[in-house]
Amino acid sequence: MKIKYIGLGLVLALNFTSVAADPPANASSVQAHLEFEGYDISMNSSRMKATHSTELNFFIKKYRGGMLVTSFFGGNDYSKSNRNGFLKAINQLNAKAAAGRYYIDSDGDLAIEAFYPGTYNKKSFANFLETFELERTHLTEMGDEITNYLD
C-alpha cells in the first residue's frame, strides 16, 4: 500500500514540474524567428508570449524536451450554459486539427495546444509554425458554430 502512494506522489511531482515550466530552450533563437514572422514577443520566467495582428496569439514554454504552444479564447456565459454544444463544436475542430488539439480548460476557456518536439531548428520550426497557423483557418471556417461560445 505504501508503494502505491509513493508512486502516485512521484507522478504528481513530475506533473507539477512540467506545469511550472521555463521559456523554451534556445529562447533567443525562437524569439528571433517569431519576430521575423511579424510577432511581438514578451517573456517572463515561465513562458514566452507571442502576439500577431493576423495570426493566433500564443504562449510557448519548455515542455517534455520540446516546446508547448498554447492559445486561449475566453468562453462566454453561453458556453457555460450550453456545454454540450460547445463540446460538439470543439470536437469538430479536433477532427480538422493539423497540429493542435482543442479542449476546454479549467476556467471554461477554449485552449489550443501543439507540441514541438526537441530543440529549435529553423526549418522544422518554420514548418511547425505554418501548420499551427492553420488552426486559425479552422476557427474561421467554423464561424458562428464556435464564435457563439467565445468572448
Give the pLDDT confidence of 24-34 residue by residue, as tens digits: 878 999 999 99
Whole-model pTM: value is 0.82
Q: Is residue 11 part of a domain?
A: no
Tell me the HSE value of 139 on the side-chain side, using a 13 A CA sphere: 21
Q: Is residue 9 part of a domain?
A: no
Q: Is residue 84 part of a domain?
A: yes
Kindly report the CATH number assigned to the domain that includes residue 94. Answer: 3.30.1460.10
Q: Is residue 4 part of a domain?
A: no
Distance CA 25, CA 31 (A): 11
Q: Is residue 14 part of a domain?
A: no
CA distances from 66 to 34, 88, 115, 129 (A): 16, 30, 7, 14
Any residues with CB less than 8 A from the CB of 75 and at least 6 apart, and which? Answer: 86, 104, 107, 108, 109, 110, 149, 150, 151
Question: What is the sign, positive or negative, of the torsion defined by CA atoms of 117, 121, 123, 127?
Answer: positive
Number of structural domains, the chain? 1
Phi/psi for 45 (5° steps) reads -70, -15
Element (H, E) at 33: helix 27-36
Q: Is residue 112 part of a domain?
A: yes
Q: Is residue 13 part of a domain?
A: no
Domain that holds residue 30: 21-147
Q: Is residue 1 part of a domain?
A: no
Reduced to 3 states (helix: H, G, I; strand: E, B; else coil), residue 47 is coil
Q: Which tens digits make up the pLDDT trace of 52-94? A: 999 999 999 999 999 999 999 999 999 999 999 999 999 999 9
